[in-house]
Chains A and B, each alone.
Chain A
């Protein structure tokens, strides 16, 4: 088990370095080397610029710059954000928890709702309920994240102004609120972005879970359970679901990139102060150190997600649990 973990972590490191390499060269090879050009940014103080030129060897050949960059990243120095005038690490450290809050709510809600819908469908397979849920899932599966976010705003923030338009807290009143009302304030701001992500992602979970349940139901052990007199609802929820969850756990690993993508769009539309918003804003300001760091953190999240999914898979499948 330890050997397996070490092997997986080694793989993950290779992947992250690979991503960093691709991103580094693609950005530096762009016309006029925007990375270098950014160092000429007059908004950055001369001292910082000099430090940068020195630290990253911007006058040296590209491969050497790359080695220096990777070296500084491994030391935990992700560089300096031009647009925000702060270390990139600080910017991301502030933003990441906000993204993780949104993602964990959306992830939990999506899996709960998606699995519930799939079970409902499979219990009544072929019925109108089954077909309607399939249709609605397909609809959300085919909807662009940012457009759905915009429509949710039009409907639930403007037409029926139930929830705030964006942000994570009320900019005017938040600081004057008591601790309980502060939580309520954040919760109110969380509803719409979390709803958008949940609508999108539960559709994926439902589609996946339904297919996986239907794959499992013809198994012989399901016939055994029926022959034992187990009621159909217990068959689906206990006997079939426990097995059908295994492929869905893989989806949990895939959920990280998908939710990260969703977070980029949804955070932009709702001005949610997370990593996605940081990334989108750094496009306009051409804040390359920030963009590079975001890609690297993103790939770390993605590989971590697939590792977590692998471990969960092992925990759920007794056949793997007893292997070395």
Chain B
């Protein structure tokens, strides 16, 4: 692979509250090439959103990116960049699409104004130019009658239209990277598909890289080429999308797959991974998934697994990589044995 566009190396973002330290992101590394779509998938609380915010350095107090973390983007380390240079990158070279389009838009400004503001900050043209570009972007995202819509307030638009506004806002400066944090979660199913299609479409047109953050493997399947699975602030598996769906290695990824609704058997019971993500102030020692894992054995408690290489493009943080025989004898996970409610 040539020089990646963005390369996150050993990112640790911790929240310091009182005596407790919440290690929301705890040593995450991955990279994205130009024009590529990388998916990050995981349950809520796994650290994927904090990872996204860390890239743009938007984590608020008491959260802090710990030293030793590096986020290389276009030859610069974003962790140590000064505030002014960081602002030049935000919305301009790297932009972000948020989950909840209603709360992500400021209720007291018109949507056109909010889209045009990005162009006003980063562009050199007049207010008028910025407004015209905003209208043009709104039209590109498939908003009908964009001139009129631009003068409306967020509460006057439907959820899908609002998400289109956010996409217009993210793409107006033609950034190198768009971070999409659960961009379809808040939308109706039919609109979800439209929005994903639009994103893929615009990506092809502008050649943008996308970091697609989601809890939904279906979204990954539709958009991404490579995927990173996160659990408890760590990367637990990374693979090409096809590989992951064909041969997931990590038991957690397996669990996520089982939890996916299957279109072929609409009435089948949805499998959920038993238990829940532990508190970020108190990650388990050894393997962080072991209490919820159907294969765990004594080594999983003793030794924190490294990222094992399964193939040159596939890594997994699971001791099964070296002791595959344990996969033969699944057992009820510890959380169920202990009678902890599911």
Chain B residues contacting A316 (CB-CB under 8 Å) are 108
Among residues of A, the one whose C-beta sits closest to the C-beta of B93 is: A229
Distance, CA A193 to CA B87, complexed state (A): 46
Chain B residues contacting A243 (CB-CB under 8 Å) are 106-108
Give per-residue flags for B139-168: 1 if the beta carbon is below 8 A from chain A beta carbons, else 0.
000000000000001011000000000100
Please determine whether B95 and A228 come into contact, CB atoms closer than 8 angstroms. yes
Give per-residue flags for A206-238: 1 if the beta carbon is below 8 A from chain B beta carbons, else 0.
000000000000111101111111110000000
Knowing A227-B95, A228-B95, A322-B156, the reply to whether A242 touches B108 (Cβ < 8 A) is: yes
Please determine whether B106 and A221 come into contact, CB atoms closer than 8 angstroms. yes
Cβ of B121 under 8 Å from chain A:
yes
**Best-buried of B56, B91, B169 by chain A (most CB within 10 Å):** B91
Q: Output the least CB separation between B71 and chain A (Å).
A: 15
Distance, CA A219 to CA B102, complexed state (A): 11
Q: Output the least CB separation between A239 and chain B (Å).
A: 6
Among residues of B, the one whose C-beta sits closest to the C-beta of A321 is: B153
**One of B58, B91, B153 near A319 (C-beta < 8 A):** B153
Please determine whether B155 and A220 come into contact, CB atoms closer than 8 angstroms. no
Please determine whether A226 and B58 come into contact, CB atoms closer than 8 angstroms. yes
Among residues of B, the one whose C-beta sits closest to the C-beta of A232 is: B83
Knowing A229-B118, A230-B117, the reply to whether A224 touches B106 (Cβ < 8 A) is: yes
Please determine whether A220 and B107 come into contact, CB atoms closer than 8 angstroms. no
Cβ of B92 under 8 Å from chain A:
yes
Cβ of B224 under 8 Å from chain A:
no
Knowing A223-B58, A318-B153, the reply to whether A228 touches B91 (Cβ < 8 A) is: yes
Chain A residues contacting B118 (CB-CB under 8 Å) are 228-229
Among residues of A, the one whose C-beta sits closest to the C-beta of B95 is: A227
Chain A residues contacting B169 (CB-CB under 8 Å) are 224, 228
Knowing A226-B90, A229-B90, A229-B91, the reply to whether A318 touches B107 (Cβ < 8 A) is: yes
Interface majority SS (helix, strand, loop, mixed), chain A: helix
Cβ of B206 under 8 Å from chain A:
no
Cβ of B252 under 8 Å from chain A:
no
Cβ of A33 under 8 Å from chain B:
no
Please determine whether A229 and B108 come into contact, CB atoms closer than 8 angstroms. no
Give per-residue flags for B81-116: 1 if the beta carbon is below 8 A from chain A beta carbons, else 0.
000000111111001101010011111110000000
**One of B88, B104, B153, B156 near A224 (C-beta < 8 A):** B104
Chain B residues contacting A46 (CB-CB under 8 Å) are none
Chain A residues contacting B337 (CB-CB under 8 Å) are none
Cβ of B64 under 8 Å from chain A:
no
Cβ of B60 under 8 Å from chain A:
yes
Cβ of A317 under 8 Å from chain B:
yes
Distance, CA A316 to CA B107, complexed state (A): 11
Chain B residues contacting A231 (CB-CB under 8 Å) are 87
Please determine whether B122 and A229 come into contact, CB atoms closer than 8 angstroms. yes
- Give the residues from 161 to 217 in chain B that come closer than 8 angstroms, CB to CB, to chain A: 166, 169
Please determine whether B122 and A319 come into contact, CB atoms closer than 8 angstroms. no
Distance, CA A27 to CA B88, complexed state (A): 69
Q: Output the least CB separation between B174 and chain A (Å).
A: 14
Please determine whether A229 and B106 come into contact, CB atoms closer than 8 angstroms. no
Please determine whether B104 and A318 come into contact, CB atoms closer than 8 angstroms. no
Please determine whether A224 and B89 come into contact, CB atoms closer than 8 angstroms. no
Distance, CA A239 to CA B121, complexed state (A): 14
Please determine whether B109 and A220 come into contact, CB atoms closer than 8 angstroms. no
- Give the residues from 96 to 127 in chain A that come closer than 8 angstroms, CB to CB, to chain B: none
Chain A residues contacting B87 (CB-CB under 8 Å) are 229-231
- Give the residues from 115 to 144 in chain A that come closer than 8 angstroms, CB to CB, to chain B: none
Q: Output the least CB separation between B105 and chain A (Å).
A: 6
Chain B residues contacting A227 (CB-CB under 8 Å) are 56, 58, 90-91, 95-96, 98
Please determine whether A318 and B108 come into contact, CB atoms closer than 8 angstroms. yes
- Give the residues from 70 to 118 in chain A that come closer than 8 angstroms, CB to CB, to chain B: none
Knowing A223-B58, A318-B155, A322-B156, the reply to whether A230 touches B121 (Cβ < 8 A) is: yes
Chain B residues contacting A226 (CB-CB under 8 Å) are 56, 58, 90
Knowing A221-B104, A243-B107, A318-B108, the reply to whether A228 touches B56 (Cβ < 8 A) is: no
Please determine whether B103 and A220 come into contact, CB atoms closer than 8 angstroms. yes
Knowing A228-B117, A229-B121, the reply to whether A223 touches B92 (Cβ < 8 A) is: no
**What would be 24 A-B contacts, judged by CB atoms less than 8 Å apart?**
A218-B60, A220-B98, A220-B100, A220-B103, A221-B105, A221-B106, A223-B58, A224-B105, A224-B106, A224-B169, A226-B90, A227-B90, A227-B91, A227-B95, A227-B98, A228-B169, A229-B91, A229-B118, A229-B121, A230-B87, A230-B91, A230-B121, A242-B108, A319-B153
Given A223-B98, A228-B95; 15 other pairs, CB 8 A cutoff: A224-B96, A224-B104, A224-B105, A224-B169, A225-B117, A226-B90, A227-B90, A227-B98, A228-B90, A228-B121, A229-B88, A229-B90, A230-B121, A239-B109, A242-B108
Residues of B in contact with A (beta carbons under 8 Å apart): 53, 56, 58, 60, 87-92, 95-96, 98, 100, 103-109, 117-118, 121-122, 153, 155-156, 166, 169
Residues of A in contact with B (beta carbons under 8 Å apart): 218-221, 223-231, 239, 242-243, 316-319, 322
Question: Which 6 pairs across A and B sit closest by C-beta, in order of nearness?
Answer: A228-B91, A229-B90, A229-B91, A220-B103, A221-B106, A318-B153
